[in-house]
A = this chain, B = another copy of it.
Amino acid sequence: MTDKQILLLPGPTPVPPQVALAMARPAINHRGPEFKALWAEVTSGLKDVFQTRAEVVILTASGTGGMEAAVANLISPGEKVLVVTIGAFGERFVQICRAFNVEAEVVAFPYGQAADPEVIAERLAADTGHEIKAILVQHNETSTGVLNDIQAISRARGDHPALLIVDSISGLAAADLPMDAWHIDVVIAGSQKAFMLPPGLTMLAVGERAWQAAEKCSNQRFYLDIKKARNSGLKGQTPFTPAVPLLYGLQESLRLLKAETLAGSYARHALMRDMVRAGVRALGLKLLADEAIASPAVTAVCVPEGMKPADIINPLRERFGVVVAGGQGAVKDQVFRIGHLGYVSFNAILAGLAALEAVLADAGVPVTRGAAVAAASTILSESEAVDK
């Protein structure tokens, strides 16, 4: 029965049954009136989640396709951007820039730390010729479980005309990111994170200044062309055949998020984070990210001295059906990651922590069985803000 799994991944998240049912609806014509109505509802609902009046485009691709779309549609070959990296997905932005002949000047912070807005401010202040066309940065860095302070980074930009392009694939709807209020030009999201859907859609909210950049951009794209997507979208269509079931699922998940409210979703994710962190700490394990910058979507946990991540991940899956993720990039061999976003439940977290206690105890790590669950359930009992 360990095939009845508890998924604690930083995406894909479990899928709510009503979303799965919506996805199983009969096929429709993606050039017909049923699709048009579906499209109108999901694009409107997405704008609420992005907290923007900007146009939203939806592409049939996973999140990396959205990251590529941001680069290939907005930055011309030879132009320079500032890529702020705090982990593996920041590094992916650098790779994409290189693949598209965009000059990526990297401002790197160590794995486990957040970006320092001061450093960005200084670099931009020195760029008096405005050579830097955009700042590319993660909202939530999935590989380390660190949340960047996007509001402070936006302020650090000051009067510099660089576009602020934010990868919030694992952040949106898990942590507040008011696009318009914070003057963000592009926000990239993905279906399989706090939207509680399977993978296969990436959504981009693209502000007016970014659309102006798109008009002038000479970089190469066809399938991921956001202007084509916008123009078709305004007619209730997509330029290429879309993943219709995922759009039905998105309609349903947007209704769920609306009923919960964004504030409710943020509070729920923060509570799951606090439960996981308290539980892990009660077992004496170290957390990669400090409290102040800890992600509400995923927590990277340092493996005890002398152990490898697989020593924990494999028995969790094989003996308890609890599925957590390995490390990525520079901390690949040092951490495992507990995801707590999307349709993860509080009892899934308690069960996951119970399994973690057992796996560590059986491996000879000196832990008190029950300690992690006790710490997490105390946090849960004391919280009042969240509808349990």
Contacts and interface: CB of A to CB of B under 8 A. Distances in A.
Interface of A: 3, 5, 7, 9, 11-15, 20-21, 23-24, 26-32, 34, 60-65, 68, 72, 95-96, 99-101, 190, 192, 198-200, 219-225, 239-246, 317, 323, 325-326
B23 A5 contact: no
A223 B29 contact: no
Contacts of A26: 5, 7, 14-15
B31 A199 contact: no
A342 B296 CA distance: 43
A65 B99 contact: no
Contacts of A323: 28-29, 32
Contact of A68 (B29, B34, B222): B222
A223 B65 contact: yes
A112 to B, nearest CB: 21
A221 to B, nearest CB: 7
B245 A198 contact: yes
Contacts of A27: 7, 12-15, 192, 198
Contacts of A31: 325-326
Given A31-B326, A242-B199, A243-B243, A221 B23 contact: no
A158 to B, nearest CB: 31
Nearest to A243: B200
A221 B243 CA distance: 22
B62 A240 contact: yes
Contact of A21 (B24, B34, B62, B68): B24
B244 A199 contact: yes
Nearest to A14: B27
Given A31-B326, A222-B68, A62 B243 contact: yes
Given A31-B325, A199-B242, A242-B199, A223 B23 contact: no
